[in-house]
Copies of this chain bind each other. A is one copy, B any other.
Amino acid sequence: MAKKPELDDYRVPFFDAGKKPKPFDLSAVDPSSKPFSSGTKDIDRERLAAIGAQLDDLQEKLHAQRRQRVLLVLQGMDTSGKDGTVRAVFHDVDPLGLRIVPFRAPSEREAAHDFLWRVHAQAPMAGEFAIFNRSHYEDVLVPRVLKSIDADECARRYRHIREFESLLADSGTTIVKCFLHISKDEQRERLQARIDDPTKHWKFDVSDLEARKQWDDYQAAYADALGATSTEYAPWYIIPGNSKTHRNVMVAELLLRTMQDMKLEFPPAKESLKGVKVE
């Protein structure tokens, strides 16, 4: 009998400061596999809805407590489903409790600072659940592929990222990072679908096709970044994402476990309110 898959089987091994950082072998995970699927899309969607309700409950406690924070980092190639994941996984979570932060190419002012400056400014505060739709990881992917930073600078950035995430974690932030893993064929189909539907053209930039030509370079850059920045306090998970339903369920399961582990509870009742009658 096949072993039931565990979320931790999809966690990128932790960076070990004593050893040379090892790129994570993305080819070891099949993007079209569905380890957390229960068989049919309908059952998966029911499961997703059930988790959504639990996440909503946990988020309310997070918010009520105003002490801990959660940061979800979503990364992946174009069309890997970052937007779709947010939409599906958080459908039943109170929008008041979420802060979704999209990172685009840095503005002139942002680029005039260190690469973590604009990211730090968006870190979740006590009680917040923040979602980074793209993130500081773009700054060890894009410039690396475009060769505007060399290997030494890249290594320094990995270190700065680890240290920055350690600061957030030490200040009460639970960090989960998901790499939405799709195949090159799947990307072709999704890009083609956008091209074939004029109402989707706004999502499309000709530069997406340029980035696709550098698919292998981006995969290599991801492999390095994942291996160098998966840590106990900010682990990376590989989410097989050719199936959108599977991707959504797996991210939801991961967040559910993560938030359950936080032991969130409502703050204690206020003694001063006991027996108070409103006039």
Residues of A within 8 A of B (CB): 64-66, 83, 86-87, 90-91, 94-96, 98, 100, 102, 133, 188, 191-192, 195, 198-199, 201-204, 206, 209, 212, 266-270, 272-273, 276-279
Contacts and interface: CB of A to CB of B under 8 A. Distances in A.
B202 A266 contact: yes
A91 B56 CA distance: 12
Contacts of A272: 206
20 contacts: A64-B202, A83-B94, A86-B94, A87-B95, A90-B95, A95-B95, A95-B98, A96-B100, A96-B102, A96-B133, A188-B279, A192-B277, A198-B268, A201-B267, A201-B269, A201-B273, A202-B267, A204-B273, A206-B273, A212-B279
A91 B276 CA distance: 34
Nearest to A98: B95
Contact of A96 (B87, B94, B188, B199): B87
A80 to B, nearest CB: 15
A278 B102 contact: no
A203 B86 CA distance: 27
Contact of A86 (B95, B133, B201, B206): B95
A91 B96 CA distance: 11
Contacts of A96: 83, 86-87, 100, 102, 133
Copies in the complex: 2
B278 A188 contact: yes
A257 B279 CA distance: 39
Contacts of A83: 94, 96
Contacts of A195: 273, 276, 278
Contacts of A206: 272-273
Contact of A278 (B100, B133, B191): B191
Contacts of A94: 83, 86-87
A272 B204 CA distance: 11
A107 to B, nearest CB: 12
